[in-house]
Structure 1
Amino acid sequence: MNPGSEYTRDSRYIGTRITADGRDGFPVEPGRYRLAVSRACPWASRAVVVRRLLGLEEALPMAVAGPVHDDDSWTFDLDPGGRDPVLGIKRLKEAYLAREPGYDRGITVPAVVDVPTGAVVTNDFPQITLDMSLEWTRYHRPGAPALYPPELRPAIDAVNEVVYRDVNNGVYRAGFAGSQEKYDAAYERLFARLDWLSDRLALSRYLVGDTLTEADVRLFTTLVRFDAVYHGHFKCNRRKLSEMPVLWAYARDLFQTPGFGDTVDFDHIKRHYYLVHSDINPTGIVPGGPDPAGWLAPHGRAALGGRPFGDGTPPDPPAPGERVPADHNPLG
């Protein structure tokens, strides 16, 4: 965060893809790769949700980093001995350096790591979830939803573009603004887009079509952090999410849908933002609220119609090793 500057996200990702035909040298193979995530991170949380919805837990195992990192890297301090039990590394940076010695870009999650070599294959977070839908189809669970159906892709892409620019990244542009002018511009753009989304969702249960899609996943991971983090920590405080009736009901509907809320760890979310961003929160105090119980209140969105999983079915409950602790999530 530089005085006077506008926040710009470093988007120099490793764009290698894991595909069914292996055209980039990395074919889809169950168990070969490890999805490195943190439940604190909204970009990684997209991949966690899509993986759950599609039933890829066994085909694409997950490495979960702790919520707090330093300038060097995400760490696997949640695991015994502080090492991921499969990759054998303490820091995600080790997998990036195995791919590219001297790697000097962001050590980001999500990242997909090739287990045999210990090297990152890709950290291109928008493509990772699309490829889960398009390239891993052989390993989708029976009843998996079509999150990126061909007939809706243009509409999904259009919504995703403006939601990313104004909402997903917009909260960061407000929170890390280096001047009042840059903050004001980001703030106005964010809430104008939230108003636009409220109008759209007042008439439709989901963002595109009458079923869950990639667009809903991408919006959800920002909304679920809004009151806990973005409203206060990032000064996005025109209204809380819980004071925006349509978006609050929409977000609760998604939270209560299997595969969404059961992946959320409010403790990790708050500890990450309030402890890592010491320039914004120098005291390191993590707030006690808000009370997450409100996420379980009735939402009434079923009256708008729509079928969450289309012709499919909800995923099974999370496996015991992937359940969020009950004191971190009201669904526990």
Structure 2
Amino acid sequence: MSVTLLAGHPPAQHTAAFHGRIGRDARSGHYAVPRRYRLHLSTACPDGLRVAVTHSLLGLDDICPAVYLPAVPDCPDGGHTALRPLYDASAHRYPGPALGPVLSDDWSGRIVSTHAPDIARDLARHFRGDRPQLYPCDAESEIDAVAQMCAAGIESAAQHVGSAGGGEEEERAAAAEELTETLDALERWLAGREYMIRDHLTAADVELWVTLVQLDTVHRHHLDAAAVQHIAGHPTLWAYARRLASHPAFGTHLDLDGIARRHHARCQGLEAAGAAVQILDWAAHADGAPANRPQINQL
């Protein structure tokens, strides 16, 4: 697997209502000041989990506090009641659901960004200090390529394969082939490697690990047993996922019950035979106590 191969996948699509960025100095408006910003996220959501892992790897609990939202949104439109004041303060009569993750500005009481990739990058670039370099300056294209591969070659492909009656059989077969080819390429690439693109943890590892969590805890339920057995037949890839899960910044954010409740609340698809075939024992690494994290019902 190479960046050239990965670049063949279409770009990942992220829908976000607010796209503000944290800049380097006061002229940017939102500039890096410790304890000015706050995260609002649910680790049952893939984007929230990515941001939470990044936040922990950078050790930003005191610099940029995080508030953890319920796994299942409590508004009829799929949003969070706790986020509505921020949305309304940031856009008059905002019409859409109040979704996480959110990076808010405590100085103004408004939202900076709801775009998870930008949030993670800005935290890593402007608050990193001597912490891990998750976005090496010469690795941006590789990290983007891994994110695109995860979105198209695994997430989208698995959704299409597992959709009951969704699309033509030929399309589903093509999606199954793409999923297989992507996992096979990852298996070969990770042979003899500890991390995806460097000799240390980067954002590429966060992207891939969260995608593998989703594949086993969500998409697996809609695949047949043969498909799941084939997915499980990538020992190097799943050993990599297990190794990262044992890292405190990863495993302590695994809210397995929350992921299951969020999935069942949102998904209308049929459960397939693959549901009984668990690939990894994620519970061995999960925190098991999401209730101990700071949560609020209002801002």
TM-score over 0.5 (shorter chain): yes
State which of 164, 173, 197 in structure 1 corresponds to 2:186. Answer: 197
1:230 aligns with 2:219: yes
Task: For residue 231 of structure 1, give the secondary structure of its aligned residue in structure 2.
Answer: helix
1:151 aligns with 2:123: no
Deviation per residue, 1:128-147 (Å, 9 max, x gap): 1111111223xx4x5x2111
Taking the TM superposition and a 5 Å limit, the aligned residue runs for 1:88-107 are 90-105=81-96, 107=98
Q: CA deviation at 1:175?
A: 5.0
**1:257 and 2:259 equivalent?**
no
1:63 is aligned to: 67
Q: Which of 20, 33, 56 is the aligned partner of 2:37?
A: 33
Corresponding residue for 1:165?
A: 152
Alpha-carbon distance change, 191 to 118 in structure 1, aligned in 2, over 3 angstroms: farther
How far residue 248 of structure 1 moved from its aligned partner, in angstroms, is 0.9
Deviation of 1:223 (Å)? 0.8
Q: 1:233-292: per-residue Cα shift (whole Å, max 9, x none)? A: 467961255442111101001111231111111111111101222x2269xxxx899596
- Name the CA distance, whole Å, in 1 between partners of 2:250 and 2:37: 23
* Paired position in structure 2 for 1:319: none
Q: Distance in 1 between matches of 2:191 and 2:256?
A: 27
Q: 2:167 aligns with which of 149, 172, 179?
A: 179
Structure 1, unpaired ranges of 5+ = 1-7, 76-89, 298-322
Q: Tell whether the 8 Å contact from 2:77 to 2:97 is kept in structure 1 after alignment.
A: no
Q: Which residue of 2 aligns with 1:18?
A: 22
Decide whether aligned partners of structure 1 residues 156 and 10 sit closer, same or farther in structure 2, where only a CA change above 3 A counts.
Answer: closer
Matched ranges for 1:201-280 at <5 A: 201-233=190-222, 238-239=227-228, 242-277=232-267, 279-280=268-269
Partner residue of 2:114?
Answer: 123
Which residue in the other structure is 1:78 paired with? Answer: none
Q: Deviations over 1:150-193 (max 9, x none)?
A: 23333333333322332244444555684235544433322221
Aligned partner of residue 67 in structure 2, secondary structure: strand
User: Do 2:150 and 2:211's aligned partners in 1 also have CA atoms closer than 8 Å?
Assistant: no
Alpha carbons of structure 1 residues 251 and 291: separation in structure 2 relative to 1, 3 Å: closer
Backbone CA RMSD of aligned residues: 3.2
Q: Aligned pairs, how many?
A: 273
- Kept in 2: contact 1:133–1:146 (CA 8 A): yes
TM-score of the pair, normalised by structure 1 = 0.71
Matches within 5 A, 1:287-326: 290=278, 293=281, 296=284, 324-325=288-289
Question: Could you state the TM-score of these two structures normalised by the residue count of structure 2?
Answer: 0.78
CA distance in 2, matches of 1:10, 1:236: 31
Provide the identity percentage. 31
**CA displacement, residues 70-111 of structure 1 (integer Å, 9 cap, x when unaligned):** 442443xxxxxxxxxxxxxx4323322221123345643211
CA distance change for structure 1 residues 19 and 176 in 2, over 3 Å: closer, same or farther? farther
Q: Secondary structure at the match of 2:228?
A: coil
- Say which SS state the counterpart of residue 191 (structure 1) adopts: helix
Letter in 1 for 2:245: F
Task: Name the one with the larger helix percent.
Answer: 2
Native 8 Å contact 1:230 1:236 kept in 2: no
Residue 72 (structure 1) aligned to one of 63, 67, 77:
77
Is it true that 1:111 corresponds to 2:102 in the alignment? yes
Secondary structure of the residue aligned to 1:34 is strand
Change (3 A) 1:130 1:237: farther
Q: Tell me which residue corresponds to 1:310.
A: none
Question: Which has the larger displacement, 261-270 or 228-237?
Answer: 228-237
